Structure 1
Amino acid sequence: MMGLAIDPGIVLDALSVMAWTALPDGRVDFVNRKWSEYTGRVLGTSSDWQWRDVTSADDLPKLLERQTAILASAEPGEIPVRLRRFDGQYRRFVLQISPLRDAEGRIVRWCGICNDVEDLQRAEEALKRRELDLQLIVESIPVPVTVMSPTGEVEAQNRLTSEYFGKSFEELKAWRSGGFIHPEDLEAVIVAQEASLASGAAHNVETRYRRADGSYRWFNVRGFPLRGRDGGILRWFFLSIDIEDSKRAEITLAASERHLNETINALPALIWSARLNGTGEFYNQHYLDYLGRTLSQVRDYGWMDSVHPDDRAGLMSVWSAVMASQLPGAAEARMLRYDGQYRWFLFRTSPLRDQHGKVVKWYGVNIDIDDRKRAEEELRRSEAFLAEGQALARMGNFSWHVDTGEIAWSDQLYHIFEFEPGTTVTLDRIVARYHPEDVGLAFQLIEQVQRGDSDVESQYRLLMPDQSVKHVHLLGHRATDRPGRREYIGTALDISQRRRSEEALAKARSELLNVARITSLGALTASIAHEVNQPLSGIVTNASTCLRMLAAVPANIEGAQETARRTIRDGNRAADVIARLRALFSKRSVTLEAVDLGHTAREVVALMQSDLDRDRVSVRAEFADGLPLVGCDRVQVQQVIMNLLRNAADAMSSVDDRPRRMSIKTEAESDGMVRLTVQDAGIGFDPQHTERLFDAFYTTKNDGMGIGLAISRSIIESHNGRLWAALPKEGPGASFAFCLPIYGG
């Protein structure tokens, strides 16, 4: 076949991209098979100007304008355009047009190819929309990628870049002087990059890169910036798209005397052709180099020896089915490399047809997908580990598109809620699973989401179909990578076992505290009795003696007077005992410091959260921002807050006809004070006994000692503050509030 001219139409039909030719005036006179397959139009309806029908109406004016300019310039050019596929779907292409000239330099024909850039442009758009992990972005793009800083320093390259150049990252950083770019192209690349760095605009250049083996390949280098939310440039991405094939196709079309085998042998892919009966006929040099074998060794079916034994039968079955159908086909199998290593390849084949549509030959390409296969296997393992980890941790994850109502759940979350896996999850189904007493928490969470809170958190109970109860802790965070769309990502953790352990521990602690309280009360009562009984006994004895002395004849006035003096002494002694007891509950050593009252209250609420949850009390915190600091002893004030919260919870312990809600808030007073208020929805108190609530040993509880509020008031007053109680104007419950002076005020 050497020395024979090859029909350009056959060459164009063998290309894996859409290609066409046009007369010097731009009228299309030929389209290849790929064009017809993509558009669903044959030569008769795709020639001349009728190809406009498959062009997007929005792009057609710009296409015609750009085409006119290219024809007028008589120079190569490219046009971005969207073309309609046979199924009605539009995809983005870059039309690359080059003139073919005769020996005198006159244009005898125009040749063009259509590069499908849909996936690439989608990747570029995705990079602009999302701030993803840099290494993940770089490695996920299936072309060589270089990442540079806003000032042009190389920061990262993907694996394909390193493999292509065969250099380390440090060597590639010196790309200007490292000889990686063809000397004739280096200056143009530098100028284009510096212009983009200065203007912030994307650029697009073609250049030749030197591969690790010393050969050069043409690349289309597209540089575009990654910007932050403020519009500033965070990184520069440079995508190098191998256009060597298209360049070589242009050369082949311009100089048809070159042998087809020479062109194919230069392509960095395993390319082959087969006869009509399926026996191998031609293998390019890259194919032979990969196998480490000669053409005679792999011709006919000799190439099957390089296929992994486990894959041969399946590959042959697909190959037989493809030949029978006379349609393009594909299969995956492992091939043995010259060094004894098997790698996965994607076998793609298409038939070459004559002008009558009859298959005359098969062309194929084997694409190395070993890295993709390994990545897929690693992904499957990671997903399996994640699912197992979630099952062990009893944790599931979810996403919720608030505007559309779309909810996605992991398998473990279906298990926690005991929903049928894979069924549609709706908000109504979720709320229906809530414990009736906790439904209010569901609406409170929905309210937070509707407000657009960045973080949401809730603990609630689920009532399962078998009437068992589960405790769930939910955490959600609003995603910020899609402006204008409210999406929450979060986890739900089954804490039933932990809650049961906490309740058992709290019960044991409560019983121990009750025993300690009873013991302390008994000891305190015995001590008071002992201290007071002694002077009282003296008073009674002295009074009896005084009466006898006065009743004597004659009356012993002097002795009675002495006895009365001893009676007065014992009375004062009893008063001292009472004073000491009062001092025991009222005197505190106060160490003033600057304290954030809201932050201090948050610590107390967090400390008591498990007790409040056990009592089914929901707390609404309203801590004002920017409040001045107060001067107090932090520990003593925390004791007061804890006592008020405990009293509020106790006041609602018998409430079953309404939610047990408690609010705690801080606010500024007009007299240089800061107020903290605790309000409950409990049983309240008798307004006639408001002040008695703060008397020592006065209590409305069956098991209370009556000293908590008395001690709390003495602590607040020792800080020059005030503590008081009030009933709400409407509704049940009571509120207790105290105020403290501003630190240094």
Structure 2
Amino acid sequence: MPTSDRQFRALAENLPTLCWIAGPDGYIHWYNRRWYEYTGTSAAEMEGWGWQSVHHPEKLPDVLERWRASIASGQPFEMLFPLRGGDGVYRPFLTRVSPSRDADGAITAWFGVNTDLTDQMNAEQALRDSEAKFRTLAQAIPNHVWTALPDGQLDWFNDQVYQYSGAAPGELDGQSWAAIVHPDDVAAIANGWAASLASGASYQAEFRLRRADGLYRWHVSRAVPIRDADGRITRWIGTNTDIEDQKSTAEALAHLNDTLEHRVESRTAELLQAQETLRQSQRMESLGKLTGGVAHDFNNLLQVISGNLQLLLRDIAGNAKAERRVHNAMAGVTRGAKLASQLLSFGRRQPLAPRVVNIGRFIRETDDMLRRALGDEIEIETVVAGGLWNTQIDPGNIENAILNLAINARDAMDGVGKLTIEAGNASLDDDYTRLNPDATPGQYVLLAITDTGCGIAPEIVDEVFEPFFTTKADGKGSGLGLSMVYGFVKQSGGHIKIYSEVGQGTTIKLYLPRTTESEDVVVPAVAGPVEGGSESILVVEDDAEVRETSVATLLDLGYRVLQAKDAQSALSVVESGSAIDLLFTDVVMPGPLRSPELARKARERLPGLVVLFTSGYTENAIVHGGRLDPGVDLLPKPYSREALAQKIRAVLAKRN
């Protein structure tokens, strides 16, 4: 027997670990006493490959594979696996095996040691359980609870600290907690904390902590050291207790006049803030009404221009120069219509037609459109969470919102960078909505758009949703893009939040209300030739120029056309007995009889009649809660000849 083997055996017989020796081929020919004591086996049972009987059958194939690979490669073997004791219980062992080589490098034997990790793993689990109990208790305590490392670096806070301060998890770690301490108190706190760290004595101090709304409240902080068996400090555990009320009472007794003055000032500030909030709400309401009225007249004007240009285009067919000028004018009409739509959107006056949509599928379907709009230098990544909820949203408007945000991101990245679009489920709780009063608690589908652009300066980040505010150069933007997205999301019952850091990029999160309804199946419109018909259409429009243009367009499409200047006149035409297949009426008209009432009365007299509304601004006649009434067909102004023709045929098809 080689000397090294004898030495190993002599040493191994007295070790508390399980030891063994194998030949170059892995055939085990010797075990120490501790092995037989633990496994309750005999040498005859264990010799060779008999050790397999005390291995867990589920782990054995992996052990064999690893052990044979080591034998083949000559490399040391190390693995954690369970071994069965004589009592039938499997315990975790860490096995390390090393080869012994001769002078030529050939393996002469393998020396193995199995170390029982049961106590170690139990101790680690006990530590984890203890830590979990501490965390559970600390989360249940209404006070602030925190822990620090032996050097004084704070490394954990309970949820009450984050809820109070409004900070995100991790933001207060290390020395960053000083950011929420009143500036006048920082120096004294730091000196006291340093003294406790040096002496190991308990810590106590009173100071002011900033709340999420910016107000400071007095707290008393206490911390005690936790020591190990050798007396070394392993951790500090601290609490902060709100003593603002006690402080206020003491100050009130000592300085009654100052306290009264402070209360008056505080109450005045609250009233001023409430008045400012009310004024802002009233301003937005007034602005919404103003934009609605402007959009109505503007869209009527655009309809006259657009309709006549389209009719003129047919008259000048073949004259390339004239056609080019008309097309240029039509492009201006399109831009004007977009501006009017943006005005209505930020004023929350859009007639939304929501559908049940799966946002994940929706953004995947817009991928090609975004890539064409952003160019090859923008990398687009789409991340959709599993089990995504549905939302009820206007598909056209959410597509415009995504495109608007993507184009803004492209400009912020100067045409080169990465755009990430993420969709997932989110719940806004009372804690969040308390810090964001414009949000409503509930479940939402979260759509987040992140760029790697220049970011937005902190002093203007709160202004980016204001109408006509823009950071772009003159002539590069109307300042209505983000405000349009904001208005659409709010009108849809959602919430919008922006996060930005200069030089790092921007994330805009859209929270869209969840619905439990099944996704609507949307059949895409099939583009085809413009078709007219021979049916009879009653056109009701108070604006003479708009009416004349609409009638001319319908006649050009082959329809028989009747016309009326208001709802009362239109009802007279209906009652005259004239054959009418479709009522094409403006929504907003003068007179005592409103368009929805005209539609109802006309259907009573002509049961087969179908109705198509048109408007530049619907007010609340056929839109309630920001959404088109069920069963209502609307063609927004200004509309093209093609759009009118297709909508007329679609509405007439409903008679069948």
Q: Determine if the TM-score, normalized by the shorter chain, exceeds 0.5.
A: no
TM class by shorter chain equals 0.3 to 0.5
TM-score, with structure 1 as normaliser = 0.30
> Which has the bigger relative contact order, CA under 8 A and spacing at least 6?
2
